[in-house]
Structure 1
């Protein structure tokens, strides 16, 4: 019972941490645009942002107030490394034969 409680608390804390700085939360403005590292973070939490966007119309998957090319580089690097990297762990049908 104690182990389940600890795991539940860790999951809730992790979820709260992940959604605390989603794109479109109002923390960025034209004078304080999101940069490269924000792009990486937003790319990593893109699936969570997508689900959050269904329930809150202020949350976005992509930050509108960004630095441009550098934000895009960080965002797409995180998307490709996170989701493209999953294919490395999949077994192909030809490997099973």
Structure 2
């Protein structure tokens, strides 16, 4: 049984490999990047307000969750930090309490 599970996972990985290789071909349109467009700090801000912007974008066509054009990698990095570190990805208040232990 263990051998069958390993073979199934190996097949899944081999089926996934071409898709992974295809992602290496992705490029960004040159008109989507402009040096004087929103940069790192606005990326952090846009990542932080992502949940609100997403809800508003469902009802208002002129609201977007991502600024285009932007200055490229620094905007993306700020956007990532805004979501993960400062925004919805940061769960600083989540505390787990262990009230009982079940022993078998």
Superposition map of 1:18-57 within 5 A: 30=34, 32-57=36-61
TM-score (normalizing by structure 2): 0.56
Q: TM-score, normalised by structure 1?
A: 0.59
Q: Deviations over 1:48-74 (max 9, x none)?
A: 101110111121111111011000010
Which runs of 5 or more structure 1 residues have no equivalent in the other structure?
Answer: 1-28
Tell me: CA distance 1:63–1:96, structure 2 relative to 1, closer, same or farther (3 Å): farther
Give unpaired runs (5+ residues) of structure 2: 1-32
CA distance in 2, matches of 1:32, 1:74: 16
Q: Which runs of 4+ in 1 moved over 4 A?
A: none
Cα RMSD (Å) of the superposition?
2.1
Partners of 2:37 and 2:65 in 1: CA distance: 15
- The answer to whether residue 81 in structure 2 is matched with residue 77 in structure 1 is yes
Cα distance in 1, alignment partners of residues 99 and 65 from structure 2? 37
Between Structure 1 and Structure 2, whose CA radius of gyration is higher? 2
Deviations 1:9-62 (A, max 9, x none): xxxxxxxxxxxxxxxxxxxx9574110011011011111101110111121111
